[in-house]
Structure formats: C-alpha cells, structure tokens
Structure 1
C-alpha cells in the first residue's frame, strides 16, 4: 500500500464539493488528475470509495468511514508542517490582526502596548472586518490572527481558542415606544425596526439573531449604538459600550421576557491551521489568550 497526501486531499475535496470536477477546481488540478488519484486510492485501499452510477459520485459506506480517517491524517500533516515552519522561522517582519469591530480595541490595547515594547521593529496592521469578512481574510492569508464573535459553524481550516463571553443587552432610546413597556416580548420586537451589524460580504452570520422583518444593517457596533440613541430602532450592543450612554440616559435596557438570561456571545481567537505563526504571532496569540482570561473572567 502506497498512500499519498495528494490522494487524501482529492478524496476530501470530492466529498466536500460533490463532484470530481468541482474538486479539481478547488485543488487547481485537472479533473483527470483528481479522478486518477481517487481511483488509485481505491486500488491501494481495496475498497470502493464512491458510487459512480449517478450523475454525481456519492460516497459509499466505506468511503464515509475512511473519509473520517483521511481528515485526521490531513490535520496531523498540516500540524506537522506548521510546527516545522515555526521551529525553522524567526521573527516575522509584518503581522496583521483582524478584529471583528473596532469597539473591541480598548480591551486589546493593553496587549498591543506590551507587543510594541517586545517587538518594536515589527510592522503591525490592525483591520476591523465584520462577520464572514474576517474569516475570509484569514483564509486568503491576508491576516494571521483574528478576534471574532463565535461562529455558527466551526471551520476545518481554522483553529480557534475561546476567549470569553460578552453580554449584549437589548437597548433603545428612552423615547422609543418599546421603552414604555414593562415587559418586552418577541412580538413587540418584531413590530419595530431592528438595527444589526453586517459585513460587506453579507452571508448567513448576520441573520442569526434577526427577529424583526424590518432591519437596518450597519457596519459596526458603534454605528448601531448611535442610531439606537437617535431612536431609529432597537438593537443588541456589547455591554462595555453602554456604561456612558446608560449613565447619561441616552439608552435604556429593555426587559425582554423571552430570554431566560442576559444575552451573551462568545469571543474566539482564530488562526489558520496550515499557516505557521512566527515568533511575534505566537507571542501575540498567547498574550491575547492570557489577557482575555482576566478581562472576561466575570
């Protein structure tokens, strides 16, 4: 038996895309190369991986089982390569950190202060993409680290570390009709305009907490908060942005009765599994994790 990683990559791509031609496009190879790789893999393993009788190939029971093993082998291979590159590499000249919304910068700034002292010669780039925009930057290698709200689905190509949870109260301006209600139900929220964050790519992530049919989409929590203060709708805003507006009477927290506890979302630190971090990237990753334990321990 003489298996290769290329054969396993062809199997994975074909299974995930649903056809050999789509797998070839993903891998940047000719369809004949992918078909031959899978055929040779079937010969080496002695089992049929795909049922080819229909228009599109369908994994057999044996194929489904071996796909699990193939994913594990490829993940181990990527980890091996990443570790080897990290051991070989030194301090990188440039590092990009993508953060889902610039409103999170205050808690990150303390780590960046220490980063500047530890790596004064490194060119650091901070980007503030929203939702799917952030994971896209990581996947294309445009950013090395990302701080994101928890995603609907984990991605095989991205590693993550949970940083903590943020409370996101639902708030309105004091003069808003919802502010006059003693208890606010789902039907009440559906009857008023909702203000929500969005990325430039759109996507399913932005729809996950949509309750109202009428929505204004805003690129950033600061923007959502400003429109809320003007009475243009209701929205959910990170608690750390509300201390001043609440004290000044610019917004009020709604008593929402269909949420059993205060609404919260997790934060994640993301990086690509197959893209090794240099010395500075590893330092920043560990420093963010350590600092987040202190910030979000409550």
Structure 2
C-alpha cells in the first residue's frame, strides 16, 4: 500500500526542486521530507532521485512516476473533499432558474466562487420565462429564481432585490439616431425597434420600453444585440451587456428624450418560503448580495 504522506513529499520535492524547499512548502523539516522520499523509494523498489549533486534530480523512473503520482494525489484530494462534503451535508446539486432578462454577468462571479468552494456540487441553470420558473420553484424543481422585478410574484415566495440594472438605448454606428444628441420620442416611434419576446411580454418592462410602431421580435437579448449591430433597428438593453461593444464601436449608445435620468430596474432573488437551505444554497445567496 502506497503511503500518501510519502507520495505527497515526493511530488512536492519534484515540483519545488529540493527537499528543503519542499519542507518549507508543506511545513516539515528537510530531513522529514528526505526520509519520506527514501521510504517511498524503499516501498516501491525504485530510485526516484539522483542525490549525487547539490540538489536532487529526478531519475527517468522518478519522472515517469511523478506524473502518475500527481493523478493519484488529485484523486485522494477528491475523496477527502467528497467525504467532508458528506459529513457537512453539502447538497449534491442545486438548480437555479434564470429569467432571460437577467444578464448572466450578474451571476458569473458567484458561480465561479461557488465552484471553487463546493467543487463536487452540480449546478443546473434553467433559462425560462418567469411564469415557468415560478412553477418550477413551487414544485421544488429549482432552488432559486433570479427575476427582473415584476408585479406578479406569488405571496408564498420570499424575495429580495440584489442588484439594480441600468438600461440604455443603442443603435448601430450607421443609424440616423447615432449622431443625434437627444432622440425625440416621435423619431423613435417611426424607427424600427428590436425587442425580444421576454421583454415584450414583461408586465413592467414591456409597456414602458415598447415605443416603435415597427417592431421585430428576437429570441433573446443576445440576438437583439446582433440585429442592432447589423443596422436592422434600435434597442433598449442592459448596459452591462453592451459596454464592450460600445467601446469597440460596433454599437452606439444614444440619449432618448423619454429618459431624463438613468433607467434602472431591480433584479430579485426568489426562494420558497419555509424551506431549509443547505450550505451551498446559503453560500450562493450570500454571494449574490455581497457583490
């Protein structure tokens, strides 16, 4: 049976280039690391380091075993993390419902940190309209719903606003609207507007932002952006989704007369009332309100 402590000393010495550096890294003395590696060599019956010079140099056999040892150490770490998760009652999976009007950028950092802290919990992302997500939350098919503030949140859900999203008007650089300091409402009603079905049907956002008499319906906000870049029409979109394209010059932000100040709408996090949450769900909720 391979001793994992010996194996750890070997891998660390191989990566740090000396027994003393390995000892400093893992908090052991140089002699402890040297003895661990020697014991591993004895157990395996293979010389892993040539010690003739000032610093130990891996033998060809050591080079070969080093690659396998790294894999074995990763597997050992996975087993340790998994058993810790079981003891701490960490969820095997969580499901998050994402309204199509919620820019994914607002959850990217939270998901990245979640993956680092709970690497063995599977995360499922569902993108559907609010009504479908509310039904999924009520049926316990999702743990959370991220939703653009609306008027119809069921009373049996808990919710809190975790972010304000600024929305702006954009067009292509070749559009007639691009050169105007302020675009009057009358002009916006005659120019073609690009909108997605989720916006068009939204109880709060739809009536406020649907201005033109000529509308093209896109599948989602990403398609809206592409259509605006092609010069097909103008659109009202979350600023966070447009900043890179505006900086590159493929989109132009313009000031409409109907917006006197910045136009912002809240993003709500919803969860089911009287439902206990595990550590992963609690951490995800904490991350959203922290950022």
What's the offset of the Cα at 1:245?
A: 1.3
Aligned partner of residue 104 in structure 2, secondary structure = helix
Aligned counterparts of 2:281 and 2:159: Cα–Cα separation in 1: 14
Corresponding position: 1:218 with 2:214: no
Query: In structure 1, what is the equivalent of residue 5 of structure 2?
Result: none
Residue-pair matches, total: 203
Query: In structure 2, what is the equivalent of residue 100 of structure 1?
Result: 99
Q: Residues 152 and 200 (structure 1 numbering): CA distance in 2 closer, same or farther, change over 3 Å?
A: closer
Query: In structure 1, what is the equivalent of residue 73 of structure 2?
Result: none
Query: In structure 2, what is the equivalent of residue 188 of structure 1?
Result: 187
Q: Which runs of 5+ in 1 are unaligned?
A: 1-88, 292-298
The structure number with the bigger radius of gyration is: 2
Corresponding position: 1:159 with 2:154: no
What's the offset of the Cα at 1:136?
A: 3.5
Question: In the TM superposition, what whole-angstrom CA distance separates every residue of 1:60-105 from its partner, at most 9, and x where no partner exists?
Answer: xxxxxxxxxxxxxxxxxxxxxxxxxxxxx94332210122239733
Pairwise CA RMSD = 2.6
Q: Which runs of 5+ in 2 are unaligned?
A: 1-87
What's the offset of the Cα at 1:206?
A: 6.0
What's the offset of the Cα at 1:131?
A: 4.1
Query: In structure 2, what is the equivalent of residue 62 of structure 1?
Result: none
Query: In structure 2, what is the equivalent of residue 249 of structure 1?
Result: 249
Question: In the TM superposition, what whole-angstrom CA distance separates every residue of 1:250-280 from its partner, at most 9, and x where no partner exists?
Answer: 1111221221202221111111224443332
Aligned partner of residue 249 in structure 2, secondary structure = coil
Give me the TM-score of the superposition, normalised by structure 1: 0.61
Preserved CA contact (<8 Å) 1:100 1:129? yes
Q: Residues 285 and 92 (structure 1 numbering): CA distance in 2 closer, same or farther, change over 3 Å?
A: same
Aligned counterparts of 1:118 and 1:93: Cα–Cα separation in 2: 13
Aligned counterparts of 2:199 and 2:243: Cα–Cα separation in 1: 29
Give the 5 Å matches for 1:168-183: 168-183=167-182
What's the offset of the Cα at 1:201?
A: 11
Q: Residues 117 and 174 (structure 1 numbering): CA distance in 2 closer, same or farther, change over 3 Å?
A: closer
